[in-house]
A and B are shown apart, each in its own frame.
Chain A
Amino acid sequence: MRYLLRKLGFYLVALWAALTVNFFVPRLMPGDPVDILLSKLGQRGPVTPEMRASTEALLGTSSGKPLWSQYLEYLGNLAHGDLGVSVTFFPASVGSIIEQTLPWTIGLIGLATVISFLVGVGLGTAAGWKRGSWLDNLIPVTTMFQSVPYFWLALILLFLFGSTWPLFPLNGGYDVYSVEPGWSLDFIGSVIYYGALPALTIILSSVGGWMLGMRNMMVSTLSEDYMVTAEAKGLRPGRIMRRYAARNAILPSVSGFAISLGFVVAGSIVTEAVFSYPGIGSALLQAVGGNDYALMQGIFLVITLSVLGANLLVDLLYSVIDPRTRARA
């Protein structure tokens, strides 16, 4: 119990530190949201001098409040779950934009991460179990995909399978021309079809790491004494592989998986930019472009919470699957 409380306390402090950084970093960027909004309008049509006053009145940003009181106000609003109003998408609230974009990101990047982990660990186990087989030779190929910059790989695949041989759509989250959003088979099918190529790029570029890590852990686990004991007892090879070798070998991969899950939201930016995918990464890009403090902070908050949350979960899970970690609690 004390172990649990100590962990929770640590995470609370980390959360507060992250929130504070979230508050200050966007405000150090050049530009004022009102200026930016007006200049963007000015590119589309006439902006009269008087428009500044009306925009300030609208956004309520003209407050000359000192930074510390804004900071307290920010923390207070957060406590009430109020993330504020977005400037870029005014008058929509930050919460509603996150609500609208987050499912796309979790669906695409989250699923791709899970798939890549499962496939990588599975292949790694097999490769470590049968060293020198053809699977072992696959490893250099997959790590090559990982070493290539992700956006470059994504662009090449997009070019090949989107333009040259148009197997997959070029952009978007679903077929906006013929499908209505909703829980229909058509819509779900369309979402899967449009998400296939981006998901494939993520899996291709990350599966190598999981595979290599798992394979090497398998190899070192296989030389442990208890493996020899297990074999001497005459257990079936499949049981030895899964219960004795893989269960121990997977431990480092699980902590790695937690960290990568936490970065699902943050890591989505490049994918979503390349594939024009309507997730939270695109929203963050737009927020930065418009100096939209509230939206940026809202998205950073989601990122922070997901990283911290995933880590906490794994910390707790770890103490279950590997009792050694809580021995000194």
Chain B
Amino acid sequence: MFKLKAAVAAAAALTLAVAGCSGDKSDGGTTKGNAGNSSITIFNGSTGTIVENWNPFSPTLLQPTQGLIYETLYWFNFAKESEPTPMLGTAYSWDKTGKVLTITTRDGVTWSDGQPFTAKDVAFTFDLVKRTPAINASGLKLVSSVAKDDKTAVLTFEVPSFTAEAAVIANTPIVAEHVWSKIDDPAKTINPTPVGTGPYKLKTFSAQSYVMEKNPNYWQSGKPQIQNVRYVALATADAATAALTAGQVDWMSAFLPGLEQLLKNQKNLTYVNTPAMTTSVFTCAGAELGCKGPQTDPAVRQAIYYALNRDQLNKLAGGGFAETASPTLLLPERDKKWIADPANATTPGAPDVAKANQILDAAGWVKGGDGIRAKGGEKLSMTIQTVTGWSDYISLNDAMKQELKEVGIEIKPTQLSWNEWNNNQVQGKFQLSLDSIGLGASTNPYFTYLKYTTVTTAKVGESAQNSGNYSRYKNPKVDAAIAAATNTNDEAAQKAQYAIVQQEIVKDLPYIPIYVNSMLTEFSTANAVGWPSNENKYALPASWKSWDNGVVLSNLQPAK
């Protein structure tokens, strides 16, 4: 016993001595403690073998490419209502028609190879996108992209493109002309030696882990302070939990069952919860486009909406971490200014069984001997699909089954492989499906409401557009309102159109919101401090979120 204590004391003394040494070596000033060799480890959800790809335009890129190496003109914070943050751009303006966008770029920025960054690089980037359809992921309809001088780039579009604003300023990585003009096929290069403007650059790569190191010439002076950032691959949630509690990972995002219990005795570990995706029952609603089943009756969808006991669902399936959703499918807190009618701000927490029964009675669904309703020989019975292994969604289904039975609705949960589940949704081959409505290109409701338009759907059996209208919902009023909203940059005019959309979808409910699902991110303060917190959501902290990663890492300081 005594020996052990002595050893611990010796080790502690040694650590102090080492820390003291490195403290002495750093040249005082702004850097604190062990800034010189500070290092953190991130798990961003990658599993198995890591394959090198630093091409910021590639769909299979390594996630830190966007945000750590390459930057955009502006950056949107999804965690709260906020204005776009200037990054490589400092100002932008549209002409009245929405066809010409003028961008002013930042002075004093250099590429990580030392060359200066100018508006010519911005013009080159968009010209590259225009010339290469395979990397034009946002489908920008560009006519030309030119630099008027070193600080001004002008983009001209074929059509009014207000809605492309987020894609242009916040989702297009700006690349260096002197590097990319020499690349033959910008869609297929893996860009092995990336040159960016971001806070980090590539240090070492292996198939199981890679390390990024601080860009000493980063334009935000004094940032970043963490010297090395390591990304690792882990196979399962269990492996991730073990790595987190063992101190092998400093930052990860995962729903860990029993999180509070897990973190109780870990003084360095904290978490932050930033719910942003609305878990909803997707219904195949459009009978005109080929949907079949009782859920094509709006009364059934409304009855489900009222019959759900959301407080109970949160407790049983959401671990108590979920937040209240809105029937407008926006986020009640962040998107407050976009919700026209305050009555539609939030979903009820408790069930209204009487109202659900009344709606179903009025629509002619009559309870049979087995307690299940029927109409014209059709039983009020539907299957609901989710993915094998999504444990919280599986418990959601089981709990909803009980709750809906009380009003005479039968749902039969099924579990499918991710591929089959996804294929069913894309092609409309389902009755009910559990999924979440996620992040758009910006916090403008336009990107959520596209899901309700016929522009993004197709007949059952054909693929709808991704993240599009899987419900096959068809409503001319909604289509017209969204079309009108795209033609203006005026927030008041957009609000008026979205109010029409909200009125319709609250009534029709093609996607029935359950709750805003938790997005849990776990941090360790052992090696770095300054993480986003519930009080200070300066970025969406999920470790897999592109662009936001760079912002978070720029704001960290080494732990003392």
**Which residues in A have some Cβ–Cβ distance to B below 8 Å?**
29-32, 35-39, 41-55, 57-58, 86, 88-92, 97, 100-101, 162-163, 170-174, 176-177, 180-181, 273, 276, 278, 282-283, 285-286, 289, 291
Contact = CB atoms under 8 A, between A and B. Distances in A.
B53 A92 contact: yes
B72 to A, nearest CB: 12
A291 B419 contact: yes
Given A31-B423, A276-B47, 10 more contacts: A46-B167, A46-B441, A51-B59, A52-B466, A90-B60, A92-B51, A276-B239, A283-B49, A286-B49, A289-B418
Contacts of A41: 59, 466
Given A48-B138, A50-B139, A286-B48, A58 B59 contact: yes
Contacts of A173: 208
B321 interface: no
A57 B134 contact: yes
Contact of A171 (B187, B230, B235): B235
A49 B139 contact: yes
Interface string B426-460: 10000000000011110000010010000110000
A291 B420 CA distance: 11
A101 B49 CA distance: 8
A54 B242 contact: no
A167 B458 CA distance: 56
B206 interface: yes
A88 B48 CA distance: 12
A172 B249 CA distance: 14
Given A35-B466, A48-B138, A49-B456, A91 B188 contact: yes
Contact of A278 (B207, B246, B426): B207
A56 B450 CA distance: 22
Given A176-B208, A180-B204, A42 B467 contact: yes
A295 B60 CA distance: 15
B136 interface: yes
Contacts of A53: 133, 139
Sorting the interface of chain B by its residue count into under 10, 10 to 19, 20 to 34 or 35 or more gives 35 or more
B408 interface: no
B190 interface: yes
Nearest to A273: B235
A30 B139 contact: no
B310 to A, nearest CB: 23
B463 interface: yes
A32 B423 CA distance: 8
Nearest to A290: B419
Nearest to B424: A30
Contact of A174 (B171, B188, B208, B235): B208
Nearest to A163: B242
19 contacts: A42-B466, A46-B166, A49-B455, A50-B136, A50-B138, A51-B59, A58-B134, A91-B187, A97-B49, A97-B51, A163-B242, A171-B242, A173-B208, A176-B232, A276-B47, A278-B49, A278-B207, A282-B235, A286-B47
Contacts of A35: 422-423, 426, 463, 466
Nearest to B243: A170
B248 interface: yes
A181 to B, nearest CB: 5
B433 to A, nearest CB: 13
Interface string B153-188: 000000000000011000100000000000000011
A274 to B, nearest CB: 8
